[in-house]
Amino acid sequence: MPDFDFGGEIAWRPTPEYRDRSRLAAFIARHHLKGLDDLQRRSVEDLEWFWRAVLDDLGIEFYEPYRQIVDLSRGMAWPRWCVGGRLNIVHNCLDKWIGTPVADKAAVRWEGEEGATRVLTYAELHGEVNRCAHAFGALGVGPGDRVALFMPMCPELIVAFFAAVKIGAVILPLFSGYGAEAVAARVYDAEATLLVTADGVRRRGQIVPMKAVADEAVASAPSVRHVVVVSRLGLDVALTPGRDRRWADLIELQLGTCETVRTDAEDPLMIIYTSGTTGRPKGAVHTHCGFPIKAAQDLAHCLDVHDTDTMLWVTDMGWMMGPWEVFGMTLLAGTMVIYDGALDYPGPDRLWALVERHGVTVLGVSPTLIRALMRHGDAPVRAHDVSALRILGSTGEPWNPESWRWLFEIVGGRRVPIINYSGGTEVSGGLVSGNVLTPMKPCSFAGPPPGIDADVVDEQGRSIRNQVGELVVRAPWIGMTRGFWRDPERYEQTYWSRFPNVWVHGDWAAIDDDGLWYIVGRSDDTIKIAGKRLGPAEVESVLVEHPAVIEAAAIGVPDPTKGQALVCFCVLRPGHTVGPGLAEELKAMVATRLGKPLRPEAIEFVRELPKTRNAKVMRRVIRAAYLREDPGDLSSLENPQAVEEIASARRAGRA
């Protein structure tokens, strides 16, 4: 690969205000460690000590104590955690707070696109969860059954989420924007017996039906015996006799007390499906002592979340960051904000209005969302008081310096750290992250969170520095998936087949001379031109530096001479048009910065790039559409119309 731009000078340094109240610093001091480096070393060399210390730090209570933190007798790919322990995570998220001051705190603050709001305290949420648990039990749902949640981000979603876990069922969170085929494939694969949905949702003022999608999906999923329908919009929807029940009719007459089922610590808790480049979606299996513990640990050690914090992470429950926020914030006795609607409706200031209205102190965004909001300038931010913010988090895509600086300077006022965070569904959180004890450069990560033995390696698996290589992990961690649902061979092939006993994550990464880390992009997005490997993010960062370009995506296409040629797709800023010579100007910029052999073959201008709801740019879809190939699973796309525009660009032969 060409030399990677490591982000320049230090932009933020820890202040006493952040250091002195840091949960990470307190953890280091409590265990009499010399500093962060000492903690990092010991956390991966002594798994028994470290994860026991994390469970203690988080105050995790077991019905029956575990006798061993981890059992590796089945090999690195198949560890068993909290061996012999009995634990239902709902006890720690909700039950144990009842009768304490936490019970009267806000657990959930909700806002809908139309302006409706609702607040549930921990005590109120606990009561609603208990009623819902009784209702699910009355439908015959029990331990081990799968409960699919195809719902908007509304309070009933949080209630159903915890109710299913409380009775020992396995939750199956689904993206609220899925079509019927995508819902059906996942529900069928998991053999869910109950589907909870809503009548519809609002997006930019328009009503989007959900019940009709659910009906079509269930027709292809014979395992579903019951459908429960939340009246989110008050629509008149058809109910199938004997199968469908209205939420209000089912829940409201139930008792507000309910015993939590005592599950084993390693019993399945959740299946989250993640789309692959090829083949059917992969169902990552997570357990009671896995995903929630990693989520809460990362919130505490990386994002420095306290019980006084209010977090809004822009996500959907179908993406891992939704369950991550729900489990993590309730384990830490914090407050979560969930929003059901578009973040640019009725105006481009909606996100900043949410931050002000709900007193958000921790805000999580994606670089793609920030690039979209930047189009509207600084005024929408400055119209609101966002001074409560003390942590900015980001995930989903690599940053480019311009958008990182805009968030840092305009939203954070140069005082608030951006905690860059990257991992995945199968990870339960981050493999690399920032923290409040480490100086940061634009776009950088401090490194692996405690407990993650990450490295960057070359094609032979050797550690490298100041070069782009594969992100790998050399030791197991408590949040790693317990395999793919009923497909152990695919799990082993995906993560463990490249190097012996090493997890290969599928990201390109780099580490600079100051020990700061960078994620460059997915290694399966890699472009190889005349033998030179190129990460898409390197090209895209160059293109968005041009004053006319707000977003860009780079792909490699077959070339008879060079193996692959570089093709770039650009979205222009408002007020800019495709003038004479713009494409050539952009090609020249890339050639100057990255080298003449990497000059793009074509520049295509489009209105938008294909993205998921959590704002990941789908480069594999762009490449397939441009080459008129099968794009694979498109179920997670928010804007499928963008695919046809890319296909049309190839037919038109523009460049």
Q: How far is CA 537 from CA 113, 205, 370, in A?
A: 33, 34, 16
* Cα–Cα dist 202/116, whole Å: 12
Q: Long-range contacts made by residues 223-226, C-beta under 8 angstroms, separation at least 24?
A: 223/187, 223/188, 223/191, 223/192, 223/193, 224/148, 224/187, 224/192, 224/193, 224/194, 224/195, 225/139, 225/140, 225/193, 225/194, 226/139, 226/140, 226/141, 226/193, 226/194, 226/195
The per-residue pLDDT for 637 is 76
- Helices 536-543 and 582-594 cross at an angle (nearest 10°) of 130
Q: Are 562 and 546 in contact (CB under 8 A)?
A: no
Q: What stretch(es) of the chain map to CATH 3.40.50.12780?
A: 16-93+266-521
* Cα–Cα dist 163/134, whole Å: 8
Cβ of 506: how many Cβ atoms within 10 Å?
18
CATH class of the domain whose range is 527-652 = alpha beta
- Tokens, residue 412: 């954070």
Q: Are 165 and 141 in contact (CB under 8 A)?
A: no
Q: What stretch(es) of the chain map to CATH 3.40.50.980?
A: 96-251
Residues 6 or more apart whose CB falls under 8 angstroms from that of 249 comprise none
3-state secondary structure of 155: helix
pLDDT along the chain (655 residues), means of 10: 60 96 98 98 98 98 98 97 98 98 98 97 98 97 98 98 98 90 91 98 93 96 98 96 96 92 98 68 94 98 98 94 97 98 95 98 93 92 98 89 95 98 95 98 96 96 93 98 96 94 93 92 74 74 91 89 87 90 94 82 92 77 87 73 81 49
Q: Are 225 and 130 in contact (CB under 8 A)?
A: no
* Cα maximum dimension of the chain: 72
The per-residue pLDDT for 468 is 87
3-state secondary structure of 451: coil
3-state secondary structure of 63: coil
241, 235, 183, 191: which is closest to 214 by C-alpha? 183
* Cα–Cα dist 398/400, whole Å: 7
450, 501, 493, 438: which is closest to 472 by C-alpha? 501
The per-residue pLDDT for 414 is 97
Cα torsion 222, 225, 230, 234 to 10°: value is: 80
Cβ of 618: how many Cβ atoms within 10 Å?
27
16-93+266-521 to CATH, choices 3.30.2010.30, 3.30.1490.100, 3.40.50.11900, 3.40.50.12780: 3.40.50.12780
DSSP code, position 573: P
Q: Are 322 and 314 in contact (CB under 8 A)?
A: no
- Tokens, residue 314: 């822009």
Residues 6 or more apart whose CB falls under 8 angstroms from that of 253 comprise none
Q: Long-range contacts made by residues 622-626, C-beta under 8 angstroms, separation at least 24?
A: 622/553, 622/555, 622/569, 622/646, 623/555, 623/556, 623/557, 625/650, 626/555, 626/557, 626/567, 626/650
* Cα–Cα dist 546/542, whole Å: 8
Q: What stretch(es) of the chain map to CATH 3.30.300.30?
A: 527-652
- Tokens, residue 27: 């953890």
CATH class of the domain whose range is 96-251 = alpha beta
Q: Tell me which H or E stretch contains 55.
A: helix 47-57
Q: Cα angle at 457 between 453 and 460, to 5 degrees?
A: 125
131, 133, 129: which is closest to 145 by C-alpha? 133
